[in-house]
Structures are given as structure tokens and as C-alpha cells.
Amino acid sequence: MERISCMIIEDEPLAAEILIDYISQVPFLDLKKTCSDALYALEVLQQQRIDLLFLDIHLPRLKGLDFIRTLKHPPKVILTTAYREYALDGYELNVMDYLLKPIHFNRFLMAVNKIKEINLASPASPASAPVANERPHLLINVNKKRIRVFFDEILYIESRKEYVNIVTQSKSYLTKYQISEIEELLDRKKFIRIHRSFVVAREKLSAFSAGEVEINSQVIPIGRSYKELVLSILSQPL
């Protein structure tokens, strides 16, 4: 198995040292960098591939959750914090796990093993680069078949743990991908992430309010942490 490249973003030296020690004991983890603030970490992400972040919430200059929101294609994230009350906000941002300080090694190991299992279970990324003049589409695995799903037919995509349900006007397709993997392949002008579990096609929306959107008679909630950005985008013309 390819090792998982990771970065620690932590401003407390002792907490960072503990994570460094834990990572060194796990053969499939490869620590690339330790940063004391998120702005420096942003520079690192622009320079090299990082698969996994161990991210503290309370950081100088830019807080951990705000940092995630600045990333167009964030790596997998494990939050590390002494404050339990931020768990919901973290999961709305699709973080993989939430470690409470002081972090014990057995709990750390559970979190990184989850990442390992997801990586092993994930098939190759869905193809989405059609040749010139070909109708844009995804190629996904469904029941041991390769299915072509055209972008312009997609209504919305729903995350179901390690699966996604891709819904079109005529049918839906359940396939084993992370919603973030599919999101990376979509045209951001035509599709928008409105919740940690939902991506919707803007042109297919029939109505929206401050808390939800309607698409093909299906009401879908807008996540609290997505609300401001979503409403700003939906208020603009396509």
C-alpha cells in the first residue's frame, strides 16, 4: 500500500510532539511537515501533495475550521482539539474524525486505520475527461458494470458514508466513492456543495430559501457552515 502523506497543523509544541511520535509508530503514515499556523500550511499544500491533515481548531491568525473552508480541494482531515463543542461544525465540513486532547494512542490508531481502510476500499477515480466534442460524463462502477452518467442529467449527489448516490431525472446510481472525489470532477459553475452530504446541480433547482433547496420535488437542507457561501452563489445568475 502507498503510504499516506500527512501534515500536522498545531501551535502547541507538546501536542505537536505527541502527534509526531504517534505518526512515527504507524508504518503507513509519512509525515511531510509540521506547521504552527494555517497560513504556512497553505503554502505547503500549494507545493506538495498531502493526503491527510491533523488539524488543531484553535490556531493563530486563521482558525482550523476557517482554514478548511478556504481549501477548494482539501485533503482528508482529522481534527485535534480540547473542545468537544466543535464536533458538529467539523462533520459539516466532511472531516474524517475528531480527536479530543489529550489524545491517546489507541484512539489515534482507530482514526488513522479508518483513513487506511477508506483508501484501500476506494477504487480508481471515476473517469471524467472525455475527448474533444464528447458529451461530458462520469464513468462509475455499479454492480460490477461501468456506467456512463452525463453531467447534464445529474440532479444531485448524496453522500452515504463510503458510497455516493448520484440522482438523475430517470434513475439513481449507488457507487463506492467519497463525495469529495466526485465533487473534484464537477464544473463548479454548474454544481455546488450545499451540505457535507449533498452536491446539487444549480440549473436544476426549482426553488431555494435560507435553509433548503428544492430540486425535482426533493427538499434538500443547506448545511449551517455552507449557508453564507451557498446563498451568495445562488443569488447570482448562472
Q: Residue 220 and residue 230: Cα distance in Å, rounded? A: 13
In this prediction, residue 122 carries a pLDDT of 56
State which CATH number among 3.40.50.10130, 2.40.50.1020, 2.30.31.70, 3.50.50.60 fits the domain covering 137-234.
2.40.50.1020
The kind and range of the H/E element at 14 are helix 13-24
Tell me which of 3.40.50.2300, 3.40.50.720, 3.40.630.30, 3.40.50.1000 is the CATH number of domain 4-121.
3.40.50.2300
- Strand 52-56 versus strand 97-100 pairing type: unpaired
Question: Which three-class secondary structure state does DSSP give residue 81?
Answer: strand
Retrieve residue 216's grid coordinates: 425535482
- The pLDDT tens digits of the residues spanning 210-220 come to 999 999 999 99
Cell 497543523, residue?
A: 9
Question: Stretch 34-38: mean pLDDT, rounded?
Answer: 94
Residue 89 has pLDDT above 70, yes or no: no
Residue 97: the pLDDT is 85
Of 32, 38, 29, nearest to 4 by C-alpha is 29
pLDDT at 119: 72
Residue 42 has pLDDT above 70, yes or no: yes
* Beta-strand relationship, 97-100 and 137-142: unpaired
Amino acid at 6: C
Query: Comparing C-alpha atoms, which of 125, 130, 138 is closest to residue 178?
Result: 125
- Percent of the chain whose predicted confidence (pLDDT) is above 90: 46
pLDDT value of position 133: 57
Same fold, 4-121 and 137-234: no
Domain assignments of the chain as residue spans, ordered by start: 4-121, 137-234
What's the pTM value of the predicted model, to 2 decimals? 0.53
* pLDDT over threshold 70, residue 86: no
**Mean local confidence (pLDDT), 85-108:** 77
Mean pLDDT value of segment 24-39: 94
pLDDT digits (tens, 9 = 90+) for 103-157: 999 999 999 998 888 776 555 555 554 454 568 888 888 887 888 899 999 999 9
Residue 56 has pLDDT above 90, yes or no: yes
